[in-house]
A and B are shown apart, each in its own frame.
Chain A
């Protein structure tokens, strides 16, 4: 086993194990902490994919933004659900659905002719090309601007919903 396989397995097990701890958590604050661990595992997988920019965004947006927001929401709504209260609702059928979905996905992935190795080595200056493509009218300018407007709408809507009344 080469170094990359070992690193992949370590971080994949970290991400999946932490994700399982998130959905089975009895104390929701511990779930938020495991969510951060899972995000960190996925960020390490991005480094294995030689995408340090995506790994950085993962750390900034998910761990720095989403996880912190979740912790704040937990603190605001604390003691609404007691730790010993029932946390799961019909776990058996939910597990059957999730496992069946996973089985179908793995069957589809394994039946596709997917490449074993990347088709080309990493090119230099990919980040500059990405930034140019995001503001190129022939590229991704429209989704970029739509997302900008959506962020503004969400900002206003969150302030409206979260205000004291």
Chain B
């Protein structure tokens, strides 16, 4: 029995879109920098899900989609490490992680 035959590609894409939009909401609505970072991770995760779904459905060898997915994973991990280092650095100097209180670059 082919496990995949009954779930169409559009369902995976809609799941990715839902996760991405939840991430967009989290970025726009939250005040805490760490929650914003988590929402960005959700958005990147949705992007990789789309790449994996397209790789499975659209190309027989499944190389290109997965290669893009791996590069996106590396970028996401780097973004998380750098973003959290920035948050800790801001917390050390400003003693806050609320976005509207961080206005160092305001003229």
Cβ-defined contact, A97 with B24, below 8 A: yes
Cβ-defined contact, A91 with B29, below 8 A: yes
Cβ-defined contact, B10 with A48, below 8 A: no
Q: For the complex, what is the distance from the CA of A67 to the CA of B88, rounded to whole Å?
A: 16
A22 and B70 contact, Cβ closer than 8 Å, known pairs A80-B97, A98-B28, A106-B17: no
Q: Which residues in window 48-84 of A have CB below 8 A to B?
A: 48-51, 53-54, 57-58, 61-62, 65-66, 69-70, 72-74, 76-77, 80-81
Chain B residues proximal to chain A, CB less than 8 Å: 1-15, 17-26, 28-32, 34-35, 37-39, 41-42, 45, 48-49, 52-53, 55-64, 66-67, 69-71, 73-78, 80-82, 84-89, 91-92, 95-100
Chain A residues proximal to chain B, CB less than 8 Å: 2-5, 8, 12, 15-16, 19-20, 22-23, 25, 28, 31-32, 35, 38-39, 42, 45-46, 48-51, 53-54, 57-58, 61-62, 65-66, 69-70, 72-74, 76-77, 80-81, 86-91, 93-95, 97-99, 101-102, 105-106, 109-110, 112, 114-123, 126, 129-130, 133-134, 139-140, 143-144, 147, 150-151, 154-155, 157-158, 161-162, 165
